[in-house]
Amino acid sequence: MKKLNFKYLILSVLSIVVMYATARAQETFKINAPASKLLVSGTSSIHDWEMKASGFSCEASIQMDENSVASITAVNFSCPVEGIKSDNKIMDGKTHKALNSVKYPEIKFQFAKGNTVNVSGQKSNLKGDLIIAGQKKEVDMIFSIVGENQNEITVKGEVPLKMSDFGIEPPTAMMGTLKTGDEVLIKYELTLQKTKNKLIN
């Protein structure tokens, strides 16, 4: 029986560990704005409404397993309040005022480092802090991955909210005859691309 070469065994184990770590490397991904979209919709006493967001940013720290997402360890998202617009300037002004855009110019979502979401199946839940009009609330961000490879990931989901949960009074117009509903729905489809830059804390 041949003697086991201890040095060879150690080198083999190290090689396997390095290969596994490379296959499941943690990468930083940043928003591809032209390929991404975010919509806010709701109801009113007269008709349903929808607003489109622009100027938003997102960075995520993601652990990859070859061409698939294995887990997410950090997410920083922000959207300028005045980047949320419709085709009605009066409604835009009322919305920005209700969200107090002067004092709180950004809406933010943060999933801090130290937490991990393992991604598996059709849908995953990323629980984090949503900050609107200076009010912070923990929300469930249910999402699905609709496209992925080593360099680009596309996630899609919906988040139902109540304005009153953030201390926001639903906007009114037309001398109070038009009243928006308390519930809103945020729909998003975000495409993230791998970057060499480290995730902003």
- Nearest in space to 71 (alpha carbons), one of 42, 113, 30: 113
With beta carbons less than 8 A apart as the criterion, state whether 194 and 29 touch.
yes
Nearest to 173 by CA among 46, 40, 57: 46
CA gyration radius, the chain: 22
- Is pLDDT above 50 for 185? yes
**CA 199 to centroid of chain Cα atoms:** 14
CA–CA separation, 155 and 189 (whole Å): 6
Q: Tell me the β-bridge partners of 146.
A: none
Share of residues in the chain with pLDDT > 90 (%): 62
pLDDT in tens, 28-42: 999 999 999 999 999
State how far the Cα of 142 lies from the Cα of 161, in Å rounded to an integer. 13
The four Cα atoms 37, 159, 153, 198 give a dihedral, to 10 degrees, of: 100
Q: What is the pLDDT of residue 66?
A: 82
The pLDDT value given to residue 174:
61
Categorize the per-residue pLDDT at 22 as very low, low, confident or very high, splitting at 50, 70 and 90: very low
Q: Is the pLDDT of residue 113 over 80?
A: no
Model-level pTM? Answer: 0.80
Banded model confidence at residue 9, pLDDT cuts 50, 70, 90: very low
Q: pLDDT at position 103, please?
A: 97
Nearest Cα to 185, choosing from 160, 166, 168? 160
- Residue of 17, 12, 174, 143 lying closest to 69 (CA atoms): 143
Residue-level pLDDT at 44: 87
Helix (H, G, I), strand (E, B) or coil at 146: strand
Residue 195 scores a pLDDT above 50: yes
Higher-confidence residue of 7 and 181: namely: 181
- Structure token digits, residue 129: 């802090």
Number of H helices, E strands in the chain: 2, 13
Domains and CATH numbers, the chain: 25-195 (2.40.128.110)
- Looking at residue 55, its amino acid is G
Mean local confidence (pLDDT), 133-161: 93
116 vs 102, residue with greater confidence: 102
Given this model, what pLDDT does residue 96 score? 96
Predicted pLDDT at 58: 96
